[in-house]
């Protein structure tokens, strides 16, 4: 099958690699002069289990409301009558309980760990190396409350990383 992949960032390149390994004829189209200059560059290349906490949380409503008037936030909200946005917002807000935060974070953690394993497998299979560092990430908090919340979230992720370690799927080798 002939397949076109849009974007030569980490996701597009990984998708193209696996599709080609499965026998497809793959063409990658990138709008930038070099690969990984769009989203992959902007996210700093992080594949970090520490960032697996779900965005939908009990604090999300407060952040949503602040996004209406505080334009310095990373999330900006513009109210308009859009039935799809309203429906999405209601679904999102239903996920903003502590129980859903934990369940969604655990699923997201498994996805992040699997993604990291896949990237490492591609690197091992191809010999292609990126400018990777595995020394951790430094997080800054603006208040004691955000520090306490972050610490609680990281503790939860660490407990479930250890508990799920043997149950995680492993990427197939492509030698």
Judged by DSSP in three states, 57 sits in coil
25-37 tens-digit pLDDT: 999 999 999 888 8
Q: pLDDT: is 94 or 130 the higher one?
A: 94
**Percentage of the chain lying above the pLDDT 70 cut:** 90
112-166 tens-digit pLDDT: 888 888 888 888 898 887 767 777 788 899 899 989 988 998 898 888 887 777 6
Q: H-type helices in 22-143, by residue range?
A: 39-42, 60-69, 83-94, 98-126
Q: What is the pTM of this model?
A: 0.75
**Residue ranges covered by each domain of the chain:** 1-45, 46-58+97-167
Please choose, from the candidates 92, 93, 111, 137, the residue with its C-alpha nearest in 3D space to the C-alpha of residue 53.
111
Residues 6+ apart with CB under 8 A from 119: 10, 14, 47
* C-beta separation of 96 from 132 below 8 A: no
């Amino acid at each position: 099958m002939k397949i076109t992949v849009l974007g030569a960032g980490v996701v597009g390149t990984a998708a193209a690699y696996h599709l080609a390994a499965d026998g497809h004829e793959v063409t990658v189209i990138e709008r930038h002069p070099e690969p990984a200059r769009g989203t992959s560059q902007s996210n700093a290349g992080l594949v970090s289990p520490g960032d697996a906490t779900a965005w939908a949380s009990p604090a999300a409503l407060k952040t949503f409301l602040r996004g209406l008037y505080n334009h310095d936030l990373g999330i900006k909200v513009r109210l308009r009558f859009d039935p799809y946005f309203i429906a999405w917002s209601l679904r999102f807000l239903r996920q903003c309980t502590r129980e859903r935060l934990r369940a969604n974070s655990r699923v997201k953690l498994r996805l992040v760990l699997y993604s990291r394993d896949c990237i490492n497998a591609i690197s091992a299979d191809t010999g292609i190396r990126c400018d990777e560092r595995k020394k951790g990430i430094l997080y800054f908090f603006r208040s004691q409350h955000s520090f306490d919340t972050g610490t609680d979230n990281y503790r939860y992720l660490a407990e479930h990383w250890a508990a799920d370690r043997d149950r995680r799927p492993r990427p197939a080798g492509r030698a």
